[in-house]
Every structure is written in C-alpha cells, then in structure tokens.
Structure 1
Amino acid sequence: MARGSDTKARAQAVARELFLRQGVRQTSLQEIADRLGITKPALYYHFASREELVRSIVQPLIDDGDAFVAELESRPPRGPRPLLEGYFDFHFKHREVVALVVRELVALADLGLVDRVLDWRLRLAALLVGEDPSLADATRATVALGGLADCVLVFADEPLDALRTAAVDAACAALGA
C-alpha cells in the first residue's frame, strides 16, 4: 500500500509541474505516465480521469481554505493584521497550487473549484470591513486580500520573513489600518 501511495503522490507532483508549465488541457495522462515510467492504465488505477487528478491536487487547498475561513469566522481576530498574516501563510503554504489556480482559472472554474476560493474572499472581506461595507471599504478589502495573495506568487524568490512583513504591511495600508 505504501508503494501505491508513493506512486499517487509522485503522479500528483509530476502533474502539478506539467500543468503549471504547459496547462491542464495541454497535458495528457499519457505524458504524465511516461514521466513516471508507468503505463497509462497504471495511472488510471490511481486517478480515473484528468479531472480527478486535478481535483486531488487542488482539494488540499480547498479543504485548508474552508477550515481557515471557518476558524476565523468562529473566532474573529482583533484587528486586520492577524487575519492578513494567516491569509499570507495560507497562500505561502499552498503557493504551487495557488499558482496553478491562477494559471488555469478557466479549466478549474469548469470543475467548480474557483467558486469556493471566491467565496472565501467574500467571507474574509466581511470579517475585515463588515457585512454591509461601503464600496470604498469593499474595494480596500479586495485590494488587501488580492494583493496579499499575489505577493506570494510575484515575489516568490524573496526571503519569506521580509516578504511576509512587506505584504501584510501593504495589505494593512490598503485597508487604512
């Protein structure tokens, strides 16, 4: 069983790399199997379809995101900084999958995975600026959350601590906090 789990994890890693480089729709299961040195039927043993493989790569992001937002809603932080720090850390932990989501937005939207991510943003924005914010406040929250998430991708080669501080400071500034 450990060997099967190893093959499954290796398949996800190879698929993630190929999906990022050439796109989900442009990557065949045969190509993934070839890179793994296994047959396509052996890959089908672990994943019934490309969609199932994509879901298996994105699902940990979705599960962690749901848990992250639910935790914040159950115990709202005092002030925006703790929420924004947690949001940065969440994106940093999942940066490869976040990059895949950004690159393959249309393909992942077709699988229904993007709606969950957009829902998180709305729920987090409500925690930052309230349930019925003005347009200005809603815009600030959108810029803060979106900009913070983008920093993880755009400045991927920067030292983590420096990037975290700069990104969270910028997000707080966008909120006027």
Structure 2
Amino acid sequence: MVRQRYAESMLSTRAQILDAARRLFVRQGYHGTSIREIAEQLGMTKTAVLYHFPTKADILAAVADPFLTDLEAALARVTTRQEVFEALLDVHLEHRTLLRDNVIQELTRLAQAPTLRRFTELMADANRIAAGPDPTLAEKVRAAQAIAALSDPVTAFADEPVDRLRAEVLRGVARLYAE
C-alpha cells in the first residue's frame, strides 16, 4: 500500500512537471523556459524537478512521447495508403493541441537525437507505406505531399470540430490522388 502510494505520487509529480513545462514552453518557448521556472510554477525546488528529469531536453522528450507512441502504434497496424493517411490524421487530431502549440516544432529545432530520430523514422515509415511497393519518384513525391498535408490543417484549425476537420483533411488528401 505504501509502495503504491509512493509510485502514484511519483507519477503525479512527473505529470505535474510535464504539464507545467508544456504551458511554459507554449508561452515562452523551449529556450525561454528554465527548469527553475518550471519548479516555481509547482512550488518545488529545481533539484526536485531534476530528480524526475535530469535535463530540460528530457522534459521536452517526455512531453512529446505520447504523440510518438501513438504514431508508432498507428503505423504498426496499417498496410495501405488510405489506412496510413487515416491513422496519421487520427493521431494528429488526438494530439492537436500539442501540434498547435508548436511543441513538436520545438523538438525538431532542438534536434534531440533519440526523440528526433524516432520521429524521423516514423515519418519515413509512413511515407514508405503511402508510396506503395516499388514506387516511382512521382509516387514517392505524392505520398510525401499527402503525409505533409495531414498535420498543417490540424494545427491551423485545432479548435474546429474533429469530425468535420477530419473529413475535410481526408477530402483534400484524396484530391492529390485524383487523376
């Protein structure tokens, strides 16, 4: 019982740190936010934050992790072009505030190796699936254009009703393949 409460407290503290960090990253940017400010938001010491996350980059990676985990899971279950478009769009819609708030852009600007590499590999997998087997250059380009077209509307219109936004994005992507 004591171990369980301790574990729940640790998870709760980590979640609180991530929530405070995300809010500050949105307001001030990653580089404009210090670990001290994150700690102050929570009434903690800087050392307490560093106990849970040794670096600010670790905090950013943890903020992005649910998005990347969902991308991995989505790509693991798709085999066709349409499935990859729908699965990626659903992940983008699920994490639309993270995308809207430019947290992923902060991650790519930071170029934090393992997390950025994970994201890059996932996008390469999505492009490969969307392009199909033995694709021509034209098919590769069209797939890359379609994959890229999934996130920007979600970011730009994150507050729109999800069902309508999803339908419009998929309609736009389909137009890329209309002959």
Asked if TM exceeds 0.5, the reply is yes
Deviation per CA, 1:123-155, whole angstroms, max 9, x where unpaired? Answer: 222222224322222121111111111111011
Pairing 1:24-103 to 2, within 5 Å after superposition: 24-72=30-78, 76-77=79-80, 80-98=81-99, 99-103=102-106
Alpha-carbon RMSD: 1.9
One-letter identity of the residue aligned with 1:106: R
1:18: Cα distance to partner?
Answer: 1.2
Unpaired runs of at least 5, structure 2: 1-5
Distance of 2:26 and 2:14 partners within structure 1 = 18
Alignment TM-score, normalising by the size of structure 2:
0.85
Distance of 1:175 and 1:102 partners within structure 2 = 28
Unpaired runs of at least 5, structure 1: none
CA 1:159–1:68 in structure 2 vs 1: closer, same or farther (change >3 Å)?
A: same
CA contact (8 A) 1:81 1:168 kept: no
The answer for the alignment partner of 1:140 in structure 2 is 142
1:71: Cα distance to partner?
Answer: 2.1
Task: Select the residue among 161, 170, 173 that pairs with 1:171.
Answer: 173
The answer for the alignment partner of 1:129 in structure 2 is 131
One-letter identity of the residue aligned with 2:144: T
Distance of 2:136 and 2:28 partners within structure 1 = 41
Alignment TM-score, normalising by the size of structure 1:
0.86
CA contact (8 A) 1:15 1:32 kept: yes
Q: Which has the higher contact order (CA 8 A, sep 6+)?
A: 1
One-letter identity of the residue aligned with 1:88: L
